[in-house]
Amino acid sequence: MTSLDGKVAFVAGASRGIGAAVAVALAQAGAAVTVAARSEEEGRIPGTIGAVADRITEAGGRALAVPCDVTDEQSVQSAVDTTVAEFGGIDILVANAGVLWQGPIESTPLKRWQLCLDVNLTGVFLVTKAVIPHVRARGTGSLIAVTTTGVAMTDRGSNAYWVSKAAVERLYLGLAADLKGDNIAVNCLSPSRVVLTEGWTAGGSGITIPPEMVEPAETMGRAAVLLAAQDSRGITGTVQRSETLVPAS
């Protein structure tokens, strides 16, 4: 198994779904993990940062629940500073925070369009910007942004969610070149199939997904561990699909 002993991971959007699965998997591999998200209390969509952090610590891992609104630069910086103060630095970033809106462009309210860009794109920019100096200071590290196979499905139309994730892929592919000299791996990771997260269930518009098209969130966790162990001499500057990296489960 890939070992992340001694590493510190910051996982944004980790209160539920893919982010929670990734945080748990990184901790199981030996990393100390900051579980960062806005969800401090149970709301309309189940899941809190405290519950995920407790799950990790109860299994013998190290975790810190830190509130973080990725659209707010001050909130992001505070969460990063808290992580560094507690764990001594940051080696790994998983930028997973996201909102879902898959309605047609002509019926998309401006506020929904803007929310997708604010959370899914600007949120990735803000957490990445805040974390880079700390990862660079370690002499090596890995940055991972969670995207979606929908980016490539241009035959299925357009929506705010896919557009925001496509922009994230361009951001990270370029960033890989910028950080290669710092020995930092930069990659995007998407599920190969559909992960039926709490967010998908709440915002999936009642779409029925056939069982063979469903992927367990834990597959994304195992794929994230593999990418988290990379530096610029390994896998970098790529868009990876989870089941390409690890066997389907």
Q: What's the per-residue H, E or C state across 69-100?
A: CCCCHHHHHHHHHHHHHHHCCCCEEEECCCCC
Rg, Å, the chain Cα set: 17
Average pLDDT score over the chain: 92
Residues catalogued as catalytic: 161
Give the mean pLDDT of 27-49.
89
Tell me the whole-structure pTM to 2 decimals. Answer: 0.93
pLDDT higher than 80, residue 17: yes
**Average pLDDT value for residue range 200-220:** 72
* Two tokens, residue 91: 């080696």
Q: Name the pLDDT band for 210 (thresholds 50, 70, 90).
A: confident
Q: Where are the beta strands (DSSP E) in 53-182?
A: 63-67, 92-95, 141-146
